[in-house]
Chains A and B, each alone.
Chain A
Amino acid sequence: MTEMEPVIGLEIHAQLKTRTKLFCTCPIDPGAEPNTLICEICSGQPGALPRMNGKALELAAKAGLAMGCRVNERSLFSRKNYFYPDLPNGFQTSQIDPPICEGGSLDIQGPDGPRTIRLNRIHLEDDAGKCVHDPRRGRTLVDLNRAGTPLIEIVTEPDLGSSAEAMEFLRKLHALLVRLEVTEGRMEEGEFRCDVNISLRPRGETRLGVRGEIKNLNSFRYVGQAIEYEIKRQAGLYAAGRPVLQETLHFDPDRHETRTLRSKEEAHDYRYFPQPDLPPVMVAPGLLEELRASLPAPAEETAARLRGQGLRDEAIALLMDRKGAVEYFDRAAAIYDGPGRIGALMAELLLPACQRDGVPVQSSALGPGGLARLAELLDQGVLGRRAAQELFGELFETGADPGELARERGLLQISDRGALSELAAEVVASHPGEVGKYLGGQEKILGFLVGQVMRRSRGAADPKGAGEALVAAMAGLGRQGGDGDGN
């Protein structure tokens, strides 16, 4: 039996982050009462006509630019015809040829090393409504609030070779589109969902095998499970010498298996043809330039830059994973040139606090200025790590000035050499016994003496500086003592 390799391509639907629908001005709100966000256009009344939402076009083009796609100056909408109760017009308005974006790619770090996953296209389309089945009363109700919501469909080439690669690709794509604010990406709301095309072929073969298409997976985990199951199922068929049929499949997450939705023969004939109610979608070169300028740097570049600024890998990963974190970091680092310390503070204190309280980084009460100041105090040795941790909760809540708050709380460290020397001299003078022991070789006693300096400073002294000052003060005594002994 030859070894079989899986060939996987994905079709991802991402709901665009627009205020209103694709072809009318109804607002989008998944939480609204059924059929309250509809009008004659998105409910398919006779005579109603669509009109294009310019923001949706921008977001689609932006997604394409970020992945190196060619954005077509002119693209066309077509009607995709089929009957379903949640489809008010009896057709979906989608793009066939040409779509808004073509080509492009996304690099991923697969389990077997870096891979470039090519994109076939990105196109715009509208979503359908929802059917709500009420089995108790034997009825199906239709909610059209979602009908007309703008989506992009991102179609990859069959470049993925495993469930792990597919999941990594999806995670990366999701993070990118969320970071670009192309989509909110809430998977539980169906705002980011995926169809998987999968086939097997003998390793080394270049032709594609017969594929199964698993529809509508709305979690990374399900994608992984569905692919794993489908690979096993198809491999089993090949092993048994039975044909794999071209089918549309549904994944049952409870039973971890795929089931046939419809065979190739039952596939819809969508009767695509150009949508006569919408003129070609034009993207002005000016708009493209504007969008290009608004794109954040690619993730690899950002990571390399942060590494160059002295951030540790864990901090980089955390910053890049959280929306707005890199921007926050950049602002703070512009105020105080201590990027390593700022990055560490964000990774250890700020981002966990934001996460815990569900506060977006950019709207945290402790702004980049405050965090920069905190980093500066730490670097100057005026504030200790423990004191910083103690203060952080309040700083995060109130956005107070770290210096002032530390002073109020008496947590500022005395690291001024003159002040420390004075304190050390006092302690040395009032503890001759301990000083004698130290000078006699019992160096451990220094800890006790540092404690005394801390007490006199009411905890504000920098312990490290205090130790140094004590050693200096006692060194003077030692020399004097030696002289005395010699007398």
Chain B
Amino acid sequence: MTELWRLGLGQAAQGLAKRQFTATDLVSASLERIRLSEPRLGACLAVLGQEALDRARDLDREGHDPSRPLWGLPVSVKDVFCLKGAPTTAGSRILEDYRPSFEATVVRRLRAAGAVIVAKTNCDEFAMGSSTEFSAFGPTRNPWDPGRVPGGSSGGAAASVAGFQVPAGLGTDTGGSIRQPAALCGCLGLKPTYGRVSRYGIVAYGSSFDQAGPLARRVDDLGLVLAAIAGPDGLDSTASGRPVGDYANVAEARPGELTLGLPDELWAADFDPLVLGVLERARRELAGAGVRFKAVPMPNLRFSVATYYILAAAEASTNLARYDGVRYGHRSGGDPGLLALYRDSRTEGLGQEVRRRIMLGTFVLSSGYYEAYFRKAAQVRRLIQEDYRKALEGCDFLLAPVSSIPAWPFGSFTDDPLTAYQLDMMTLPLNLVGAPGLSMPAGLGGGLPVGLQLMGRAFDEAGLLSAAKALERILPPLGDPPGL
């Protein structure tokens, strides 16, 4: 019974089905792996050890259930998903002692499919950030280099998957928060179409962008998780009623039949040479396998960063108004009076980056600035959507880098938010459009993972997974992170 923790989600599911090991074995292996690697990674904010073991034993007692595709499989969820009675902090001091009274729809669905949630993973506070450095509870380290960030905001999720703590984790992607940390940690991450997965019970950041999705080490495993969580939800009016695809069983696309659009604006970025080297090699390998490429202009992408930071900050500024110290969460014990209660609770409870975005969002919605900022950004968002639609007219999917630089050393941009925002350039367009996308490892540059992302048409997650399977076969596997 060696190295159960190495198994991917699908492999582990097969082992369970063949009774090669039990759910308790698998969950124990995951918990042991977490125990050993946490001092180095810091991926988890809460490890649900006892609860997870109890649940695994219950499952084993009930016996294997083939109708539950995730039966007995350990997974982690980002700490923005509400778990009834379990800590749910969203990486924020203001929710340090918060225990939800209800469960996120995706969590319910994971459990209904038989999954065992073993940990809640670290993230930038309220999912605002690209490095997980803005978590109020300390950093998560990149499995490939503990001196570097794992990306973010789902940095804990990516580290927990790439560091083999769990075969799959659940993250959220508002401006790249699944795809970018997956790329920086060397695993895969899928952002579904906006509306494909219910947002009910996910601590909100940017409501018209937020979308939950899986991180895993194999394309097939992304599909397994997506199949379990996707679909309409009476509790989320923005969840789509469209039929769910058979994400768990997609055929591999033929490389020779794939035409991939290369958005000029994303490939013309100022890349780190090591990253560029990996990307160019990957393109050559794909071309060698028969994949055709086509340059596509998307002129309005140059406005993505400004557009996103106006709209997402605007939504965030009012989504976070509920953290006022009145009903739950941190309440300042300082000065008397209502204004002081608000001011002090929020100042003490919310971190610098979150306060920055609240102020930015408050500003762009203010009387006199709404027209100049919010309305204009909403209009540009539609232009970007139009660019995206046109770009896909002559190709099957778009292919783009995920980040122009590899995982960076801690502290590189914490005092330079504008540069940090600019780094999101590659991932933001997809959120502005609402389309699905997936990031996967393209290779190592200077010993650090470099990612590629594949972007598709709305609600074509099945097609996206199918193309990704073809790419997965062509691109070389990264191997294990050093010191695993």
Q: A residues within 8 Å of B by Cβ? A: 40, 43-52, 79, 81, 83, 85, 88-91, 142, 144, 269, 271-273, 276-279
Contact = CB atoms under 8 A, between A and B. Distances in A.
Contacts of B367: 269, 271
Contacts of B322: 44, 46, 88-90
- Candidate in A79, A144, A278 with the most chain B CB atoms within 10 angstroms: A79
Interface in B93-120: 95, 98, 100-102, 104
Contact of A277 (B88, B238, B321): B238
B204 A91 contact: no
Nearest to A44: B322
A51 B318 contact: no
Interface of B: 80-82, 88, 90, 95, 98, 100-102, 104, 199-204, 207-208, 234-238, 314-315, 317-318, 320-324, 326-328, 338, 342, 362, 365-367, 370, 374
17 contacts: A44-B322, A44-B327, A45-B82, A45-B101, A46-B88, A46-B100, A46-B322, A49-B199, A49-B238, A51-B235, A81-B317, A81-B318, A83-B321, A90-B320, A90-B321, A142-B326, A278-B237
A79 B318 contact: yes
A88 B365 CA distance: 20
Given A79-B318, A276-B208, A48 B201 contact: yes
B211 to A, nearest CB: 13
Contacts of A83: 321, 324, 342
Nearest to A46: B203
Contacts of A47: 80-82, 100, 104, 199-204
A51 B234 contact: yes
B200 A90 contact: no
Nearest to B362: A271
A273 B314 contact: yes
The 4 A-B residue pairs with the shortest CB-CB distance in the complex, in nearest-first order: A90-B321, A271-B365, A276-B207, A276-B208
Nearest to A277: B207
B100 A40 contact: yes
A325 B98 CA distance: 54
A89 B204 CA distance: 12
A63 to B, nearest CB: 23
B177 to A, nearest CB: 16
A399 to B, nearest CB: 45
A52 B235 CA distance: 10
A43 B366 CA distance: 26
B321 A46 contact: no
A48 B367 CA distance: 28
A46 B95 contact: yes
A43 B200 contact: no
Given A83-B324, A273-B314, A278-B237, 10 more contacts: A46-B90, A47-B80, A47-B203, A51-B235, A85-B326, A90-B324, A91-B321, A271-B365, A273-B374, A277-B238
Contacts of B98: 46
Nearest to A91: B318
Given A45-B100, A279-B238, A88 B203 contact: no
A50 to B, nearest CB: 7
A242 B102 CA distance: 58
Contacts of A89: 321-322
Given A90-B324, A142-B326, A48 B338 contact: no
A48 B102 contact: yes
Contacts of A91: 318, 321
Contacts of A90: 318, 320-322, 324
A13 B258 CA distance: 59
Contacts of A45: 82, 100-102, 328
Given A45-B100, A46-B203, A142 B327 contact: yes
Given A47-B203, A48-B201, A89-B322, A40 B102 contact: yes
A49 B328 CA distance: 17
A333 to B, nearest CB: 47
B30 to A, nearest CB: 25
Given A40-B100, A46-B90, A81 B321 contact: yes
Nearest to B363: A271
Contacts of B323: 46
